[in-house]
Structure 1
Amino acid sequence: MSAIGRRINVGLVVFVVLSMVGTGGTTVLYQDSASELRAQNQELRQQNADLREDLDDTRSELDSTRTRVDELEDQLETRSEDVDQVATNLNQTEEQLNATESQLAETRQSLRESQDRVEELEVTVGDLRDERDTLESEVDDLESTIDDLESENEELEDERAELEDQVSDLQDEIDSLESRISTLESDIEELESQNQELRDDIETLCSQPENQDKATCEGY
């Protein structure tokens, strides 16, 4: 009976130790995974903030470009009106211009310079419009990127919540196992106490003269 009791005690201790090691390792793994997800979420939030700041800067530059385009269009309109006024004046003063060819030549030169300036301004306006279109395209791309990052962030938050639920379930399982371990330890202590009492009883019985020669009392 003594040998059987020792085998039972050793087997229970091994089972308890293996259960504690396996469950603890799983808990640490899920805790590390949850921490990593939190760090990734924080990094994504920072990236979103940076992208929004870049977007605000781009919009500010776009507003400035649009203002410049409007100013250039106003200047172009003013120049066009000037050209029309010069043409009107030329028609009204044709007789005077015949007497003042020198002045007419200067006026035509001024007109050519104005036309050249108008062409330059038109080119500038075209370039600014192209730049505006490019900036608007970049803004659209940034907004699309932000939407994608926010969607990915929501998915990660959902995954984190799911992992936290799993961690909670594992913690409940750990609590249950620890309760079971406590119960088994109590059972072990009780069995060891009972075994000791039985050994004491056998020693007491075998110490009596009439039982010393019995085979059961060998070793006691």
Structure 2
Amino acid sequence: MATDNPSPLASVAGFTEGPFANLVSGFSTQATTNLMLQATRACESACDRRLAPFIAVVETQRADAMDIEDAMDAYVPLDPTSQLGFSRAQSLGSTLLTRHFWVREHPPRYPELWTGSIASISLYRSYSGQQAVAVNTVQYETDTGHVRFQLGTFVPPGTTIQVTYSGGYSTVPADLVQACQYMAASMAVKQLDPVDGRSGHDPDALRADALEMLAPYTRR
């Protein structure tokens, strides 16, 4: 099971010092904290991405065939580990091995502000059992989410790849902070004043502003 310690895109202090402070003047500190977390999740749902820092998220995916640009790798001299992997594949009647996969979460913008790390990778093959892959043998590119297996790792097409990893914006871009504040303000107005609009804020307009700022982060 994933262990997730949620962290808001916008802080309580930043929200209560800004133009929306009056909206939560009657909220307890815990209620305001919950509001910022709810707004963060609403932003992530709108983008179909994890943006705030997350810990130990588990993903599974099915391995596809080897990319064509790596096809020639099979014909270059191999180190002993790689040669063993290929020999094992040949003994089982398979010479086509997967070398790439992509984790789902990676930075849509500002990759220099994103941190990510892989904790574990497990392979569940349709034949020949399962295997834990040493994470120090894989190439992980945090900006694209690309992971490359070491040449010769026995990953036949159809293998289930289970990866546990962490990531997110360690420094949140300013536009995401503002989008989260707009989203939180929209939610607060709806909670406090859902009918007659005496708060002076339009919740739908605030949400629209948030979505406009989130547009560059939305998964395509």
More helix as a share of residues: 1
* TM-score clears 0.5: no
The answer to which structure has the higher strand fraction is 2
Please report the TM-score for the alignment, with normalisation by the length of structure 2. 0.21
Per the normalisation by structure 1, the TM-score is: 0.21
- Choose 1 or 2 for highest CA Rg: 1
